[in-house]
A and B are shown apart, each in its own frame.
Chain A
């Protein structure tokens, strides 16, 4: 490596926000995402630790000016897919066609706040990983389609269709859960 490229390397890394600062700022989001992926707190912690290390080691590849949070979400999801997906309790695939028929739904009223939140989490946990992640990234992390597509490594059109499916499935699950409660 020549002197000039060495200089560039140092310059590049010095001009970025320190990795640690960036990471700690988004640690809650990363943990939350990992937890939604695994539905297991210990595994979520392990994933965040592993992803933090991987992020730190490849921080030189992170392009300054791009979304650090989205970049780390990608790493968290990669760790999940590569190491945890097989052993995670993946829900039975949702029948999308069936879900599509639930377009017109009654308004959600009359539930107690706490109970409703719990039911909502349960409904979310029943979604397949792709739908769950997409929904989380959109509603909880409020990321635009484009960034979700990058994290999920899929086209924007797929993000749109997954989001649509996730919404329908959530509605369907909620109705089912509400019926059970009553």
Chain B
């Protein structure tokens, strides 16, 4: 170890950050070099001066109090948030996902998943408003059936209504439950009757329920909305359904059904 090397390690030695081997070498050098010893002494004194004269201010009492209060408040707040975020939130998220999946997969019990009643009424109203013009006009059922031939995926048969007691006006193709359906417009004593004839074999069938307002009507189902009665008649043998919509009194309408 020489004086130049000592200068290099002076502070490491002074600050007790030097490794043992170098420390021994420095100590040996200091024993025989008064210049470096003096230099070390001077630096040591300076360090001592800094240590003793750099005032360590005490934290004001008010700060101590504020910090304690603040921590107490945070503890109360934090403990709830902590419990929720760390413990409950993941479980809550899983629960939400499970419920969401469950609701999506569970067979719906609500009738509005089969809104054939509402849809039929809407179609009936749209005809009345002139939105759907008739595509053919005839009072001859044979002509009407001939018009539908080839236009639907199923064989259109006369609507289940006593055609001798009503007047056939005409008809057109409509979509009911996204299926191409035959639409007949009939009249009786100034009342307009819409008759939809369609194939609903692959659609879940509506059921009578108080919640949906669908009531049993003999072998059929009926629902009244917006002042219009909708009678639903399903034929399980061929999967076709006939839906009648009218504001005619229900008893009179019933008499017309065959």
User: Looking at chain B, what size class is its interface with the partner chain?
Assistant: 35 or more
A49-B67 in contact (CB<8A)? yes
Contacting A at CB under 8 A, from B28-86, are 42-43, 45-47, 49-51, 53-60, 62-64, 66-68, 70-71, 74-75, 78, 86
A160 and B10 alpha carbons, distance in the complex (Å)? 11
Interface with B: A78-86, A90-98, A115-123, which one?
A: A115-123
Check if B90 is an interface residue, CB within 8 A of chain A.
yes
A interface SS class: helix
Check if A171 is an interface residue, CB within 8 A of chain B.
yes
Check if B252 is an interface residue, CB within 8 A of chain A.
no
CB contacts (< 8 Å) of B17 on chain A: these are 144-145, 160
A160-B12 in contact (CB<8A)? yes
CB contacts (< 8 Å) of B64 on chain A: these are 24, 27
Count residues of chain A with CB under 8 A from any CB of chain B: 44
CB contacts (< 8 Å) of B45 on chain A: these are 107-108
A116 and B84 alpha carbons, distance in the complex (Å)? 56
CB contacts (< 8 Å) of A6 on chain B: these are 86-87
A20 and B75 alpha carbons, distance in the complex (Å)? 10
Shortest Cβ distance from residue A64 to the other chain B in the assembled complex, whole angstroms: 18
Q: Known contacts being A56-B78, A107-B42, A160-B12, is A24 close to B68, with CB within 8 Å?
A: yes
CB contacts (< 8 Å) of B46 on chain A: these are 108, 167, 171
B58-A28 in contact (CB<8A)? yes
A52-B67 in contact (CB<8A)? yes
Check if B127 is an interface residue, CB within 8 A of chain A.
no
CB contacts (< 8 Å) of A144 on chain B: these are 17
Check if B20 is an interface residue, CB within 8 A of chain A.
no
Q: Given B47, B58, B86, which contacts A139 in the complex, CB threshold below 8 Å?
A: B47
A31-B54 in contact (CB<8A)? no
Residue-wise interface mask of A (122-146) relative to B, using a CB-CB cutoff of 8 A (1 in contact, 0 not): 0010000000000110111010110
Q: Can you list 7 A-B contacts with CB-CB less than 8 angstroms, sorted by A residue number?
A: A6-B87, A28-B56, A32-B56, A45-B60, A45-B63, A49-B63, A163-B11
